[in-house]
Amino acid sequence: MQKGAIAALLLALLVTVYVFWERVDDSPDDLLHLDNGARVLSFSSEYSDSWAAALLLDGDADYGWASADEAPFPHEFVFELGTPSEINAVLFDNTNAEESGYPGISARQVELLVSTQGATRGFTSVLKEEIGQGTHTLLDISPPAQARWIKLLIHSNWGDAVYTELMEVKAYGQAIGE
């Protein structure tokens, strides 16, 4: 094979990997992104404006949510999607939680409930899993679940006695129309 052909092949491979990574990492497909009409309707606590619940949905793992001092488990959030959707996967991101200063601060056991009826009713649990400490975790929702409202419960962290952090939550799937 000629050098030019090899270079072209490598370039194509790199582009493929990059496109795939973009899809996973910061995607216009993220149904739980503020830019796609998602918003936070309620939360049980937040540490401050710079560690706010809304920063779970800003698409940026550098910014996230922290609990208030010694707030009890479970931490609870209710999100509204921009449009009714069918969700087939969720990404939880602990990548930039402050593990170096607060070991075990990352969220650990999470539960996701969905509703198509309203922000305060009709919720069904579709996922209850442990997520990684200081890393991101992509979880399938199988079978896919229809949702307009999503309740997130954080049942535990990796050991910090005072605070819990989570940097980002993303939901993947497709709109199903009104």
In the complex, the residues that contact Ca ion under the rule CB under 5 A are 55, 58, 60, 63-64, 167-168
Query: Which residue, 80 or 165, is less far from Ca ion as judged by CB?
Result: 165
Query: Which residue, 43 or 123, is less far from Ca ion as judged by CB?
Result: 43
Angle at CA of residue 167, ends 82 and 76, nearest 5°: 65
Smallest gap from Cβ 116 to Ca ion, in A, equals 26
Residue (of 55, 59, 37) closest to 47 by Cα position: 55
Smallest gap from Cβ 60 to Ca ion, in A, equals 5
Token couple for 32: 């739980």
Classify 8 as helix, strand or coil. Answer: helix
CB atoms within 10 A of CB 106: 27
Smallest gap from Cβ 142 to Ca ion, in A, equals 26
Query: Which residue, 115 or 150, is less far from Ca ion as judged by CB?
Result: 150
